[in-house]
């Protein structure tokens, strides 16, 4: 089954298509996917694994789909070098449900949260249902445009919750925090964009719809030993142990999205994995931030270079040029750029540079910005 899927891969042809693509997709999520993923999903929607049926029409318990789930889980483990003693799950409910499931399963006495944006705040809100939540630091005072640095994490908390990439505000914790307590991380918008030392984490979760696949699936990586220690009754569907025992099939999984995730995981492996894609991601981010720092018309919203996200680059018109915002958006749109409008809580623009976005799209954006500068 695995071999059959591999046989029909054609990465060279896909690469050609990426170069000649017409739209440059900067949406924050759902967002750009590799051509390979789209092509394989399109094929499987019509004929899945030679069954003569759509991937949407077959039983999730049939051997063909079980193989998809198994391979997707195995590839997450391989690409992120997940050590023994961890389970990888494909669930539903998005990262938003993980805001609740994390404390349900791991909160014993008290927990610590780093507040770096609206998603972090939403995660913290759910944890408060279970008891004392310590906000170790917050960057809300400057509309989350920086990452707090000097904060202390009490040594007696069950975990420190972080949001590694702040999709709305354009900041990213690009390395694993050095703390003595287990970490729980929302990696929705930068999972698989760089290597991670998984053993520092009790839990990692991510909605699929940025670096992985279509919306509808959520990836969870959980340390088995961390579970079953809260002493509380956990409703069946919210208990990670249910899904570990059920091998992500306790209830009907999101079959089509999981199939899509598998294709992206295969694509990523073919690109050289997370180490190789990190290099490309650094080049893409440096290219765009370099232009933002140079171009007189634009300013990045995150001043400190070390805090700037490689995945979501947020920027506004520079002081004195604010009136040009709509004109620039229209100008870029006319040249095939989509998804550049910033989130309403930051304004301006946001260019999301997820794994699947080719460097050529960033270069195209830079040349549009230069052209616009020369007009003004």
Chain contacts with ligand PMP (rule: CB under 6 A) = 29, 94-96, 119, 163, 167, 186, 188-189, 207
Report how far Cα 286 is from the mean position of its chain's Cα atoms: 19
Angle ∠(169,175,83) on CA atoms, nearest 5:
125
* Min CB(174)–ligand PMP separation in Å: 14
Quote the tokens at residue 84. 């023994």
Is the link from the previous residue into 303 a cis peptide, with omega within 30 of 0? no
Residue 190: active-site member = no
* Min CB(278)–ligand PMP separation in Å: 19
Residue 210: active-site member = yes
Q: How far apart are CA 256 and CA 38, in angstroms?
A: 12
The residue among 146 and 328 lying less far from ligand PMP, judged by its C-beta, is 146
Question: What sign for the dihedral angle of Cα 248, 251, 257, 263?
Answer: positive
Q: How far is CA 328 from CA 158, 312, 342, 365, 372, in A?
A: 47, 18, 13, 11, 7
The residue among 96 and 360 lying less far from ligand PMP, judged by its C-beta, is 96
Q: With 0-12 CB in 10 A as exposed, 13-18 as middle and 19+ as buried, what is 52?
A: exposed
* Min CB(356)–ligand PMP separation in Å: 16
Give the neighbor-by-neighbor strand order of the sheet with 218-223: 86-91, 218-223, 201-207, 183-186, 160-163, 110-115, 132-138
The residue among 87 and 163 lying less far from ligand PMP, judged by its C-beta, is 163
* Min CB(22)–ligand PMP separation in Å: 26
DSSP H/E element including 138: strand 132-138
The residue among 136 and 168 lying less far from ligand PMP, judged by its C-beta, is 168
* Min CB(357)–ligand PMP separation in Å: 16
Catalytic residue among 40, 158, 174, 186: 186
The residue among 30 and 273 lying less far from ligand PMP, judged by its C-beta, is 30
The residue among 128 and 279 lying less far from ligand PMP, judged by its C-beta, is 128
Residue 202: active-site member = no
96: nearest Cα among 69, 121, 122, 58:
122
Catalytic residue among 14, 38, 40, 119: 119
Task: Give the single-character DSSP code of 51.
Answer: S
Catalytic residue among 40, 174, 210, 266: 210
* Min CB(11)–ligand PMP separation in Å: 29
Q: How far apart are CA 163 and CA 201, in angstroms?
A: 13
Q: How far apart are CA 121 and CA 115, in angstroms?
A: 6
Residue with the CB atom nearest ligand PMP in the bound state? 94
The residue among 95 and 196 lying less far from ligand PMP, judged by its C-beta, is 95
Q: How far apart are CA 18 and CA 11, in angstroms?
A: 11
Q: How far apart are CA 356 and CA 265, in angstroms?
A: 11
* Min CB(229)–ligand PMP separation in Å: 25
The residue among 5 and 115 lying less far from ligand PMP, judged by its C-beta, is 115
Pairing of strands 349-352, 312-317: antiparallel
Angle ∠(172,110,92) on CA atoms, nearest 5:
55
Positions marked active-site:
119, 186, 210
């Amino acid at each position: 089954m695995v071999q059959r899927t591999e046989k029909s891969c054609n990465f060279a042809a896909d690469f050609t298509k990426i170069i000649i693509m017409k739209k440059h997709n900067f949406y924050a999520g759902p967002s750009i996917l590799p051509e390979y993923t789209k092509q394989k999903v399109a094929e499987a929607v019509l004929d899945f694994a030679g069954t003569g049926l759509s991937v949407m029409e077959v039983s999730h318990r049939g051997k063909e789909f079980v193989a998809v789930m198994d391979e997707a889980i195995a590839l997450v483990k391989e690409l992120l070098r997940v050590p023994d003693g961890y389970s990888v799950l494909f669930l539903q409910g998005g990262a938003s449900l993980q805001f609740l499931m994390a404390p349900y399963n791991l909160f014993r006495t008290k927990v610590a949260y780093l507040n770096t944006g609206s998603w972090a705040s939403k995660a913290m809100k759910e944890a408060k249902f279970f008891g004392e939540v310590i906000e170790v630091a917050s960057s809300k005072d400057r509309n989350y445009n920086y990452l707090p640095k000097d904060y202390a994490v009490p040594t007696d908390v069950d975990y420190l919750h972080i949001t590694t990439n702040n999709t709305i505000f354009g900041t990213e914790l690009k390395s694993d925090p050095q703390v003595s307590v287990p970490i729980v991380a929302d990696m929705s918008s930068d999972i698989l964009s760089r290597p991670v030392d998984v053993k520092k984490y009790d839990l990692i979760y991510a909605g699929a719809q940025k670096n992985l696949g279509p919306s509808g699936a959520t990836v969870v990586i959980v340390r088995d030993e961390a579970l079953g220690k809260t002493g509380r009754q956990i409703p069946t569907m919210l208990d990670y142990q249910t899904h570990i025992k059920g091998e992500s099939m306790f209830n009907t999984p999101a079959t089509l999205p999981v199939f899509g995730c598998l294709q992206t995981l295969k694509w990523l492996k073919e690109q050289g994995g997370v180490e190789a894609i990190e290099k490309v991601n650094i080049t893409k981010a440096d290219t765009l931030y370099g232009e933002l720092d140079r171009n007189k018309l634009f300013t990045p919203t995150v001043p400190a270079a070390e805090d700037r996200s490689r995945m979501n680059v947020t920027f506004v018109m520079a002081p004195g040029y604010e009136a040009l915002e709509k004109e620039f958006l229209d100008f870029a749109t006319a040249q095939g750029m989509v998804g550049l409008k910033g989130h309403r809580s930051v304004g301006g623009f946001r260019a999301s540079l997820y794994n699947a976005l080719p460097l050529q799209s960033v270069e195209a954006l830079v040349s549009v910005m230069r052209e616009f500068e020369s007009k003004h």
